[in-house]
Amino acid sequence: MAIRTRFTELAGIEHPVVQGGMMWVGRAELAAAVSNAGGLGILTALTQPTPDDLRREIARCRTMTDKPFGVNITILPSVSPPPYAEYRKAIIEEGIKLVETAGYKPQEHVDDFKSHGIKVIHKCTAVRHALSAERMGVDAISIDGFECAGHPGEDDIPGLILIPAAADQLRIPMIASGGFGDGRGLAAALALGADGINMGTRFCATKEAPIHDKVKQFLVDNDERDTNLIFRQFRNTGRVAKNSVSDQVVEIGSKPGAEFKDVQPYVSGAKGRQALETGDLEAGLIWAGQIQGLIHDIPSCEELVTRIVADAEDIIRGRLAGLVG
């Protein structure tokens, strides 16, 4: 049982299923479980407080899997940015072979990684940004549709349009991200021109995800309507799960003249981390996508990846093939 694509060949993995690099969630136990299941696990660099902590987390992941895994590094404009060059150095020196970059002006990072023989996937939310990253020399694109958790950009283009629009113009492999969680989604992504899928929210609702069981059950209980779009007026839109905190952020942000400082006390990363780790669902923001409506259980990563690939194969070989002729 295998679906081979340009991305499985590029990454040296068995199945075209990638785990999103999620703040506070992309730790060794989850990344290793996804990689052991035949997908591509991803550690989130900035979840680790220092570059040396990232080195230790990479080493810890290697004690749990001998399969390929990658590291995500997200570059955001900031008054006091983290020491990106030092995180990058740690990734290079620890022998990571595949990096997912995301965010703001990744050129210097891409150049450095590529000069050390590291393959780079760049995550973006628009075709024009994907083409720019391709010109920078990245090896693959992860294209994020409007359904996604996190930052879907400001164009509001759902995956059904964004994926084939990108596939029409890109020459390099592309992973479809945002709204994926089952075999139907994988089959659809392949039909739309992608080489695999990236899942964030869906992997949060697995046994190995290093978050509180109450948060996992929260994702199961929610449906596709249970998200809020925040920061729209600041042109930094984010999709998060609906809770009292995100409801309040939307309400405050909708007032005339609202500024980011008005919502800042509610949206700190520390409060979001508290929600994930303690299970206090009203402690802070919980980042989640519309795929919540298709999450009905909390399997192991092995069970989830195996089921997704088997269901996609059944759809491609069975139902779709049966419709032809």
Contact 141, 172 (CB under 8 A): yes
Q: What is the band of 295 on the pLDDT scale with cuts at 50, 70, 90?
A: very high
pTM: 0.97
pLDDT for 135 beyond 70: yes
Contact 86, 51 (CB under 8 A): yes
Of 3, 4, 13, 71, the closest CA to residue 37 belongs to: 13
pLDDT digits (tens, 9 = 90+) for 14-73: 999 999 999 999 999 999 999 999 999 999 999 999 999 999 999 999 999 999 999 999
Distance CA(50)–CA(87), nearest Å, equals 8
253-282 CB burial, b ≥16 within 10 A, e <16: beeeeeeeeebeebbeeebbbebbeebebe
Distance CA(187)–CA(190), nearest Å, equals 5
pLDDT for 175 beyond 90: yes
Q: Compute CA distances 3 → 85, 119, 178, 306, 324, whole Å.
A: 36, 21, 20, 11, 21
Of 156, 213, 200, 160, the closest CA to residue 288 belongs to: 200
Q: What is the band of 1 on the pLDDT scale with cuts at 50, 70, 90?
A: low
Distance CA(302)–CA(289), nearest Å, equals 22
- Tell me the CATH architecture of domain 6-208+301-323: Alpha-Beta Barrel (3.20)
Enumerate the CATH 3.20.20.70 domain ranges in the chain, comma separated: 6-208+301-323
Q: What is the band of 80 on the pLDDT scale with cuts at 50, 70, 90?
A: confident
pLDDT digits (tens, 9 = 90+) for 232-270: 988 899 999 999 999 999 999 999 989 999 999 999 999
pLDDT for 189 beyond 80: yes
Question: From the CB of residue 171, how many other CB atoms can be counted at a distance below 10 Å?
Answer: 7
How much is the mean pLDDT over the chain? 96
Question: Which residues are paired to 158 by β-bridges?
Answer: none
Query: How distant is the alpha carbon of residue 50 from its chain centre?
Result: 21
Contacts of 161 (CB under 8 A, 6+ apart): none
pLDDT for 77 beyond 80: no
